[in-house]
Amino acid sequence: MKLTFEKKTTDQSAESSYDTFIINIKDELGRQNKIGSELIGFYPDPNQTLDRLFKSSIGPGDEALTIGPTDEKICRAITSCDASYFEFYEKPLFLPDPFGFVGKVTAHTKLIVLGNPNRFTGVVYSQKEIENILNISKDIIVVLDESTFESSRITAFDLLDKYDNLVLIRSFENGNNSFLEYIISNPNIIKKIDNCIFEQSNNNSALANILYDLKNPGNRMGRLKDARQEMLYLSIRLRMFGVGCFLNPDYSLIINTIESEESLFLLNEIGVKAKDLACFPGLGGNILVPFQLDVNAMSIIDIFENRMITKNYMRPNHSRLKIYRSSETDSGLKIGENQYIESGSRLESNMVF
């Protein structure tokens, strides 16, 4: 499907101002990532970022491979290119499986997509494992979804100088008005993405807000730190109630619950954009509470505490509390009937309640 490029205004001064905003935003993103702006792909409509990336990489008859549970908007963007994709799930779900998917790569595979960390399971691939993926073929573009980088601080950024087939997806959200997705890759890939023809509208006001928020983060680092502490505290308190949960590397929280619909409704009522993970194989009975800058642990705790009281749940006495993150092999999470997955990197232990 050929898309046409159409400016919504013919005012040359407005177009010039629009282009200037784009240049300034790319410069600021480059400055914050300590790279040149030629390695940055920024597109005013965040909904077009993935579409542009995939349309520059794959087409009809090509295949894409996604590793682990993958965001539905990525899958939609792939299929919009008339390409097919294969979903590979690690076994076990909460541990990396760097060799299991290799047999799924074919001569038609042009794209591999990997969330690192995976936003739904917390699985993290090491730099060596990512290099092995990049070395499968120099003709296969490897896209790492690092949209949770600000909270996880996990990145393959250092590999950009070494591999021309690596693409990183990042995002920025200030918790108020601005949200953007952008791409980091080598200049040749960025030029191909830039050359994709899409219809767009000039909204200088929105771009001005994005540029202002990027240049004036305020106490953003403090807010990120506070939000991480809130999520850690939330995970501790829920375990004290006997609720199965673990903290992902991006400080999102997977909660095991037998009443997903009710939990989702109550969480959404207080502005928490929780997700039912039952849409992914093996993750039924779990919901994901994402990391948010404005998270309020107590409001979420109140929901689960009230449910425990109404259902006469008993808090275990003299139990040893252990909080895990998803890279070590000594935590257990029940994710299905008679199925337990071991994973996690211990954050806290030896806390008795």
Sign of the dihedral defined by the CA atoms of residues 89, 91, 93, 95, in that order: negative
Q: Tell me, yes or no, whether 254 lies in a domain.
A: yes
pLDDT of the residue at 2: 39
Q: Which residue has the higher pLDDT, 45 or 325?
A: 45
Final residue in a domain of this structure, among 174, 189, 215? 215
Q: Tell me, yes or no, whether 5 lies in a domain.
A: no
Range of lowest pLDDT (31-45, 90-104, 338-352):
338-352
pLDDT of the residue at 296: 93
How much is the average pLDDT of 4-14?
A: 45
Report CA-CA distances (Å) from 217 to 13, 46, 212, 262: 29, 20, 8, 36
Q: Tell me, yes or no, whether 23 lies in a domain.
A: yes
Q: Are residues 255 and 148 located together in one domain of the fold?
A: no
pLDDT of the residue at 207: 87
Q: How is 212-240 classified by DSSP, letter by letter?
A: HHHH---SHHHHHHHHHHHHHHHHHHHHH
Final residue in a domain of this structure, among 188, 215, 242? 215
Q: Tell me, yes or no, whether 279 lies in a domain.
A: yes
Q: Are residues 186 and 302 located together in one domain of the fold?
A: no
∠ at Cα 19 (18, 23), nearest 5°?
120
Report CA-CA distances (Å) from 30 to 39, 197, 214, 298: 8, 24, 11, 37
pLDDT of the residue at 36: 95
- When pLDDT is cut at 50, 70 and 90, the band that residue 258 belongs to is confident
Q: Are residues 271 and 159 located together in one domain of the fold?
A: no
Decide: helix, strand or coil at residue 86. Answer: strand
> What does DSSP say about strands 141-145 and 109-115: parallel, antiparallel, or unpaired?
parallel
Report the chain's mean pLDDT, rounded to a whole number: 82
The one-letter code for the residue type at 94 is F
Q: Are residues 128 and 260 located together in one domain of the fold?
A: no
pLDDT of the residue at 308: 65
Are the beta carbons of 46 and 206 closer than 8 angstroms? no
CATH at 321: 3.90.1150.10
Structure tokens at 161: 């100088």
Q: Are residues 92 and 232 located together in one domain of the fold?
A: no
Final residue in a domain of this structure, among 192, 215, 238? 215
Domain residue limits at 165: 12-215
Q: Tell me, yes or no, whether 191 lies in a domain.
A: yes
With 0.85 as the threshold, say if the pTM is over it: no
Q: Are residues 53 and 201 located together in one domain of the fold?
A: yes
Q: Are residues 86 and 175 located together in one domain of the fold?
A: yes
Residue 253 has φ and ψ, to the nearest 5°, of -130, 125
Q: How many domains does the chain have?
A: 2
Q: Tell me, yes or no, whether 2 lies in a domain.
A: no
Range of lowest pLDDT (222-226, 295-299, 336-340):
336-340
Structure tokens at 156: 């393959």
pLDDT at 49 over 60: yes
Q: Are residues 143 and 236 located together in one domain of the fold?
A: no
